[in-house]
Every structure is written in C-alpha cells, then in structure tokens.
Structure 1
Amino acid sequence: MTSQQKAYCYGLGAVLAWSTVATAFKISLRHLSPSQLVLYASAFSLLALLSILAGQGRLASLGPALRQYWRRSLLLGAVNPFCYYLILFQAYHLLPAQEAQAINYTWALTMSLLAVPVLKQTPRRQDMLAALVCYAGVLVIATHGQPFALEFSNLGGVGYALVSTVLWAGYWLLNTRDQREPVLGLTLNFLFALPLALLWCAVRGELTPIAWQGLAGAAYIGALEMGFTFVLWLSAMKLTDSTARIANLIFLAPILSLALIYLLAGEQVLQSTLVGLALIMAGLLLQKIPLKAKSRALS
C-alpha cells in the first residue's frame, strides 16, 4: 500500500469510530459533569496509549521523550485533550447531541481557514463561499429552522460547539509540524493533561463518587475516541500528502451518527438538523471542487 492509501485506511477507521461518540458523550453526561468526563476519559485514554506503547515495546522511550519535549507536550496537552474536551462536553451538556455533533462537523472547514495564517497557505474564494454555506447550516440548526428570527435554542451551547472546532482544527494543524512520533507524542499530551483535569475537578469540588454507568462511558470514550482513534487519525495526518483529502472522510459519518443518536440516545431527529447538516456537508463538498478540477487538469 502507498502512504496515501494507508492514510485513507487510518482516516476511515477513525471517522467510523468517531461516528459513535456523539451518542456516547450524551449518555455519559447523564451521569457525569463535563469536567468529570474529561478527567476519567483522559485517564482511560492514557492507559490505552500506554498499552499501545507497551505492546510496541517502547515504554522505555517515554522518559527520554518526556525530558526532551515536555514544553511542547504541556502546551498541546493543555489544548487537547484538556481545553478541547472541556468545551466540547459543555456543548453536549447544553445542546441535544444531534445539534452539537452537526456543528462539530464544521471543524474540517475551520482547519482549512486556519491553515491560511498557521501554515501560510493562500486563501481561496471557494473556502469563503464554503464558509458561508456551512455556517448557514449552523444557523439553521441553532435556531431550529428559524434562521431569520435569530432565536437560538441555546446560544451558549452553540458558542461552545463553535469554539471547540477552532481548538480541534488548530490542534491538528500544529501537529503537522510536530516532530514527535505520533503515539509517543499523544501519550505525553495526555500525561500532562490528566493532572490539569484533576486539578480542575478539585477546584470545582467535583472529585466525588460517580455511577458505574458514567465510568463505563468514560472508559469507552477514553479508550476508543480519545485513545486508539487519535492514533489512527494522527497516523493518517502524518502519512497523507493532502490534509483536505483526509478531512473529507468526514462525509461518511453523519448519517450513522444520527441513527445512533436516535436509536441509543433517544433523541427525535429534527428536520432542521437534517437541513442544517445538509448545508454543512454541501459547504464542505464545495471546498473540494477546486481540488478535483485541479487533479483533472494535471491528469
């Protein structure tokens, strides 16, 4: 397999796994606060990552890497998982899962927009038009199909969801310049994020006993969504020759995610969510049109 084919495989596996997590977030937040979910999910994710390193026979490399990269690891760990998931879980706490996950899909567009100042890429007209279409979809979802009335179902929740896309996209763009080996670097990030989450919960008085359902949800989220799946996605981003191609795998997840939200989380999927999500997906597709045209011209 070529590097690009491997990137597609890793990216596809990550996106399919991520399609289950909106449901897992919402169910887990019935038993845990957002801060508690960050803490326990981060702990399980760190265990998962350490197990990967142990299976690869590379645990001994953790100490030297820690001494060499502790500043970068502290910075990236503070961004993700600590701040990103704290804000994302707050969005899921305030919004229905279908709305939070639909808005979160705009991170692919946010990543392209942030690539202009971060990676010094040339801005494109298509990105601006795609942004208008995508965020029109966000407006439809946030207002439950009444965009011109500007009466938001939960403005705070929408704000948290949008901020989370900026943190997520920025984190992955920063990782394109990260010289650390992906699994090792991710383990270091969680190693620094865990005490931050512990301190945050202590300050908020949330170091209290939790229900087993919450612990089980945190284990699933930590091991799958924040642990093994991160490794898949990081590997895809390292191997690909185009971040846009990998980001476009996001189109495979929405329908399955909504189905799980309906079947397992018990939410009635609103028509406004479907319309808004369609606009978001259309905007992301619009982003890809110039890439296709360019590839045909070169062939």
Structure 2
Amino acid sequence: MAQQRAMFFGLAAVLCWSTVATAFKLSLQHLTPTQLILVASLTSWLFLLGVLAVQGKFRALFRQSSRHYLNALLFGLLNPALYYCLLFTAYARLPAQEAQAINYSWAIVMSFLAVPILGQKLTRADLFAALICYFGVVIIATRGDVLGMQFEDTFGLVCALLSTLVWALYWILNRRQEQDAILGLCLNFSFALPVLGLYAWWSGELLALFNSVAWQGWAGGIYVGMFETGLAFLFWLQAMKLATNTSRIANLIFISPFVSLVLIAVILKEPILISTLVGLGLILTGLVVQQRYSQ
C-alpha cells in the first residue's frame, strides 16, 4: 500500500514537471525572464510559508543559526536566482523542446562536479554516459546537422548548458545540509526574493511588471511558482518518504520529457523535430547507463 501511494505521489510530481516547459514558454510571451522569476519565486515562497504554517514549523524560520542563514543566502542565489535566470533566458531564446531536453543533462554534470567537490571518482560508465548524453545535446542544438556545427542561438544554448551546471552544483552542495527540506527551500526563497526584487527595480522590469503586463503573464508566473517548486516538490518528497522501492519512483522521471513533448506539440504548436527525439533519446540513454553501471 505504501509503495502504491508513493507511485501516486511520484506520478503527480512528474505530471506537474511535465507541464512547466509549456508554461515557461507561454509565460515568456508576456514576461521577461526576470519578471517570470520574480512572480514565480514570490508564489513559491508564499506557498512554502503556508506549508510550514500547516506543519507547525513556521517559527523555525526565525530560529536558525547564523550559519544556516548564510547558507540559505548562498543557496538562494544559486536557486532560484541564478538557475532560473539562465533557464528562463534559454527558454526565451530556444524552442521549448530543445531547452527542456538539454535540461535533462544536469545529472551527468553532477557526476563530474562530484569529483572536485565530494572527492568521488569517475568510472568508465560515467564517461561513456557523458559521451552519449552530450552527443545527444549536440544533435539537438544543431538540429541534426552535427557536421555543420551551426547553432540556431548560441547564447540560448550556453544559458541552457550553464543552467544544468548551476542546478547540479546546487544539489551537490545541498547534500551536506541536514535541514528540513521544505524549511531550507523556503529560506532560500526568503533571501533570493529581495535580491531579485532589487535587480528587477534597477532594470526597470519591476515597474513594467505592475504597469504593462497582461493578466496572462501573472497567471503563468503563478502557475510556474505553484507547480515547478511548489506542489511538485511536495509530491516528490512524499513519494520518496513512502517508497519501499526508491528506484521505481526515481525511474518515473523518465516519463516527464515525453509527456512534456506532447504538451509542447499540442499547446505550443511546435513541430517536434526528429533531431529532438533522437537527441533526447541519447540523453536519457546516457542517464540510464549512469544509473545502472556507475558505482
């Protein structure tokens, strides 16, 4: 029964994440990347505050050590600030199918960062997985013209790849934290929001957000905040907590990119390229190789 409930929560999280690539792209038709980060982060922060209040942990926000607050500031600058700045910039410049597919390569990046940061060693499986994965990235980025090596938007591609680096770094550093996951994430948003707000004010995007953004932009930002780092995060935590077989839950994540592509094709009307399917297949193959054979 516990495993069935875990599967239910895991699938709910995966379905939430499957919608966000489409939500990103729709929201960026009305918002700049900075505005989208600000609205989504504010929504996530309020949601997480509510969750802590329901759990009776709200007061814990004000009882942390100075070290925890410093860590929260640094983590908040990584996620949500820098990570989503890079990710949303990539989505603003690239087709959604390409940005979301490249984003799945972050797990490979994490294995390489774990070498200097955690002192882990790379195995042959890690190197083989990385080779497969990044060949897939090249196929997606060049839209199948691998020999020509011509990129549709080099800056967008760089932002997408850098976002995987930041996300992997965030999770590696976060492994050393023993804090409650929801409390820690809420603190990250608490410190990131003033920084994001000041930047939006300095760039003039804060005033424009309230003066000229259509309701669709606000709705999109709120949706992203609720389903990207809000409900999906809670569902996934609950799934991992209930699971008697963690690997079966973890494997659910491989459903997400394909559901996402269907939504991108149906809602955004993006023709799904063969190069995207081939590249995504290689990226996921690389992840499977890493999971099964890397020790």
TM-score above 0.5, yes or no:
yes
Q: Deviations over 1:109-129 (max 9, x none)?
A: 222222222222221111111
Aligned partner of 1:230 in structure 2 is: 233
| TM-score, normalisation: structure 2 | 0.90
How many residue pairs get aligned? The number is: 291
| Residues in 2 aligned to 1:194 and 1:16: alpha-carbon distance in whole angstroms | 27
Contact 1:108 1:247 in 2 (8 A): no
Give yes or no for the alignment of 1:283 onto 2:282.
no
Q: Is the CA contact 1:66–1:188 (under 8 Å) kept in the aligned structure 2?
A: no
- Rate the CA distance shift 1:78–1:170 in 2: closer, same or farther, 3 A: same
AA in 2 matched with 1:200: Y
Which residue matches 1:165? 164
Deviation string 1:66-115 (CA, Å, 9 cap, x unpaired) is 75621011000000001000100000000000000000011122222222
- Cα displacement string for residues 196-246 of structure 1 (whole angstroms, at most 9, x for unaligned residues): 110111121111122110100111110111223234446677899999886
The amino acid of 1:185's aligned partner reads G
Structure 2, unaligned stretches of length 5 or more?
none
Which amino acid is 1:28 matched to? S
SS of match in other structure, 2:205: coil
Q: SS at 1:153's partner residue?
A: coil
Please, which of 191, 215, 220 is the counterpart of residue 217 of structure 1? Answer: 220
Q: What does residue 206 of structure 1 align with?
A: 205
* Aligned residue number for residue 149 of structure 1: 148
1:92 maps to 91
State the partner residue of 2:260: 257
SS at match of 2:64: helix
With 115-124 and 131-140 compared, the bigger mean Cα shift is at: 115-124
Change (3 A) 1:140 1:188: same
Q: Percent identity?
A: 52
Instruction: Please state how far the C-alpha of 1:13 moved relative to its aligned partner.
Output: 3.8
How much has 1:272 moved relative to structure 2?
1.0
Question: Stretches of 4+ moved more than 6 A in 1?
Answer: 4-9, 235-246
Q: Supply the distance in 2 between the matched residues of 1:24 and 1:63 (Cα, whole angstroms).
A: 34
Q: Name the CA shift for 1:7/1:159 in 2 (closer, same or farther; >3 Å).
A: farther
Unpaired runs of 5+ in structure 1?
A: 295-299
Alignment check: 8 A CA contact 1:98 1:258 kept: yes
Give the secondary structure class of the aligned counterpart of 2:271. coil
Between 116-125 and 228-237, the greater mean CA deviation after superposition: 228-237
Find the aligned partners of 2:281 and 2:266 in 1 and give their Cα distance.
Answer: 21
